Chain A
Amino acid sequence: MNGAAPILETRGLSKRFGGFLANDAIDLSISAGEIRGIIGPNGAGKSTLINLMTGVLQPNSGDVLLAGESLVGRKPHEIARKGLVRSFQVSRIFGNLSLLDNLRAPLLAAVSTRDVRAEGVAKAHRLLERLGLARLADAPAKTLSGGQRVLLQAAAGFMMPSLSCYLLDEPFAGVNPVIKDQLIELIEEESRARGLTFVIVSHEMAVMRRLCRKVTVLIQGRIVAEGSLDEIASRADVIAAYLGRSFA
């Protein structure tokens, strides 16, 4: 929308599973500070795209660039340390660890300075407070409800010391409205306060409309549209792909 240099970029990114092309020459360009939405029907290749960007999967061709630096071939933990952090569609919290330890774990990525870690622990307490989970700080995470787990997983991403770009894979799926609001507020707040960049995969059109000025539509592994939600909502091919799903 403006001329700011993209912080996260993919160029011709493709991934093949056997004979099936899950991502087909994806060109994506996300500016610093942007909150980008990615929508698309199930099986469109959204999670695959995130896995390719974060090193969980290796692309068959194409490139991923973070602030101009190629990430292809890097290990997931290296990419995370560089500031490109992700959450999983199925939450990956540490069930037997306390909530506090769940939030401390990302501090391991810090190149080991006492200050960062001490600061981080203070921040972990603030986040728990902010999410209304302070009381449970020392309880094992597996005692949380499904929605609370989603919050905890999202919060853990914000704990990464070098976080610059946060990829959230369907964070709102199956979450009740109260928690949904909490999460949206958290994202908005962190975006404002730290100028973070977000890529959010979601089917929740209301949330998309509220958070994202620009949305990318992925269908059958290909980008078919990009623009504001209202712009793309009028496109017949997108509507067809969603087969009558409400855009309200």
Chain B
Amino acid sequence: MHRICRVAAFAAIFLLAGGFGFVPAHAQEPVTIGLVVPLSPPGDPTAGQLIRRGAELALDYYNGKGGVLGGRKLQLSVQDSQGRPEGGVAAYRRVVGEDKAVAVTGFFHSSVNIAANEVAKSMGVPTIGTQTSAADITAKHYEVAFRTHLIDPLRVAAWLEFMQKKGFKRVSMVAETSDYGVGLITETDRQIKEKKLPIELQTLTFDRTSTDLTPQLLQVKAFKPDLLVNVGVGAPMDLMIEQAATLAITPAVPMLVSYDAPIRPQFWQLHPNTGDKLYFIAYYSPKQTLSEIGTWFTKAYEEKYKESPVYSSLNGFGDVAIVAQAVEQAKSTDPKAIIQSLENGKFAFWSSGDVTFPNADGVFWHNFSPPVLILQFQRPGQDWKEAEVAYESGK
């Protein structure tokens, strides 16, 4: 009797305490968004930091407006993927399993994104690829997999349109033998044939660990192209700029760099003269028109970091903004409801125009590609923000 009383008393206290604790917490409990980014080698820590900066400003934006779902604040659970698939899987499990994230974004390395998607498939919380380009991320048509990065077919379509516009007829592509490089070569070749474009394409590849591209470039020189497409990433891209100039290919033959590396601060230190007149793919230029939140973001970013935002930060911002809007539209933090609203809703992004994630064919499934730009430096040492917009997709 005595004992039963005591148990009952404990139970009552427990329920009371639990109850008081629980009910108000539900209204105030923050909504967690997972951010899986590379913050240490072998990942690209710089990219990770830049994405994180953007994501944090998205929180500032929405929390500054009172949060979501009638007053719940947003918060980030940031995890380091180290650029390794296992790291990405562990990070996804942690943010979803322990921190109860409603969606996970920030992905930079394709392999990390792909590995995380396999876990996401069973755990059910959606992912949004921030800067991952491999086809498999969306081509597998997983319910949970979304992406907002420029994918290869669109990058290729963009530069083919650019070549058409500029009248380039003989084009050399020198690409690294990675998925990225070989993928771009294959896709370019395929689209030229499919669209029956009058472009003669020379394709050459090199191993990523090569430092001497002279053999490839001697063949380029002998081919006498009117455009050289540089599909190196990191050091090989820089080496190709230098070695093409040494062999007197550039500047007579203009060069197009396949991604936005020339906007990095050390670019002119590496290529004080050879960087002039370079074309390069970019995903953002201050000369571009932005959405309302995009404009807010660039201002906030410049105030906070005393420099212009780059694509990584813009997309980090945009993806968190999408999650916030999806939660709002779903009126719920249930992952299933959020997936529903991602599939059916329209979302503001940093670029102008709305983001949608249609159940489209192939790689375009759940995929949104931001606009593509091709910029060109006009003089040595020029700030990339002043570089001329030589091409803008959809214009």
Direct contact of A and B (CB under 8 A): no
A positions within 8 Å CB-CB of B: none
